[in-house]
Amino acid sequence: MVTFGLIGSGWRAEFYLRIAMMVPERFKVAAVLIRDKEKGEAFAIKFNVQVVNTLEELKACSMDFVVLCVKRGFAFLYLEQLFRDKIPVLCETPPGDTKEELEKIWNLYRETKAKIQVAEQYFVQPLYASWLQAVAEVKIGDVQNINLSTIHGYHAVSIIRKVFGLSFENCEIRGKRYWFDVTKTGGREGMVFDGELVKASRDRITFEFENGKIAFYDFGGIQYHSSIRTRQINIQGTRGEIDDYTVRYLTKENLPVTQTLKRIDLGVYDNQEWAHYGMMLGEEYFYKMPFQHARLNDDEIAIASCLQGMTDYLSTGKDFYSLADALQDSYLSLCMDEALNDKDGKVRSCKTVTQVWGE
């Protein structure tokens, strides 16, 4: 079992508490740091956890590492203290808010020889992990391009780089933000039925990497919680493509094959269990849920995988999702924001340059 301290009390921080409750044989929360005493007392009652009000109190707890899960703009201050105190950190995304801050974090990391991983979760969600496995098994040949309309910013960049197998290659980013009317159907609090019409952004961006790989990014934030706006992915290679759940590829004899990724969930249609089991393509399991029988949704499975990845990193030194990767994804995301500066209503361009963590 691994024991971790938690800094933060927001929506994302609650994921870690739920995971510890649902996978108690692997994860335990030592304490939660909440500086506001009154808020902390209410939080302790709600989640039945120990709450402390200072970093010194948290450091006094017995734990293997700290999960840093605070609002943008506050991460650096905590990272500096934790790095200098030699406390291992699993940091939520993004680790920094500006290009200057990203460089400061890297320099501080090198100076202090800190132990850190970043909790980028999407590539270990069941479906994304299955897509990446299909790419890794060369089902579709050399990947040429991807059209991604599922996740935003640095999360999308992470998947793009992993699909292409990129390290720190530079690219040119061109894009524009559009606005459309759409009826709101849900949010973090659940579904809504009042028929409210809202303005929703839609970002269209092209990444042209220096090795010739092309990514088309097409996303609007309302997709995360909408019943009427779908999420889509298309990955095209020299010998096939992945189109959402459909995988088309050629055999060694160049015979075309079409297969469908099938989700295996227990507890469906009178099965008396309840848990995700895995993802199959044909007769092969391309993904198996690593926390058997745990009642976790896909995002919780992925975040639990980040916790396990951090645990393994501390025992083996092998990166799960390194600080350098997180900084590169955040940097490219900031460059996306520059390209989307649409005050003049024109398509804008941003060319990336090699950063200190990629040298």
Domains in the chain with CATH codes:
2-118 (3.40.50.720), 123-316 (3.30.360)
Q: Which of 98, 127, 48 is nearest to 335 (CA)?
A: 98
Q: Which of 87, 124, 117, 67 is nearest to 301 (CA)?
A: 124
Task: State the Cα–Cα distance between residues 359 and 357, nearest whole angstrom.
Answer: 6
Task: State the Cα–Cα distance between residues 17 and 11, nearest whole angstrom.
Answer: 11
Sequence-distant (6+) residues with CB within 8 A of 219 are: 148, 149, 150, 151, 152, 156, 202, 203
Whole-prediction pTM value? 0.94
Q: Which of 160, 183, 111, 133 is nearest to 285 (CA)?
A: 133
**Residuewise pLDDT in 10s, the chain (359 residues):** 999 999 999 999 999 999 999 999 999 999 999 999 999 999 999 999 999 999 999 999 999 999 999 988 889 999 999 999 999 999 999 998 899 999 999 999 999 999 999 999 999 999 999 999 999 998 999 999 999 999 999 999 999 999 999 999 999 999 999 999 999 999 888 899 999 999 999 999 999 999 999 999 999 989 999 999 989 999 999 999 999 999 999 999 999 999 999 999 998 877 777 899 999 999 999 999 999 889 999 999 999 999 999 999 999 999 999 999 999 999 999 999 999 886 676 778 899 999 999 98
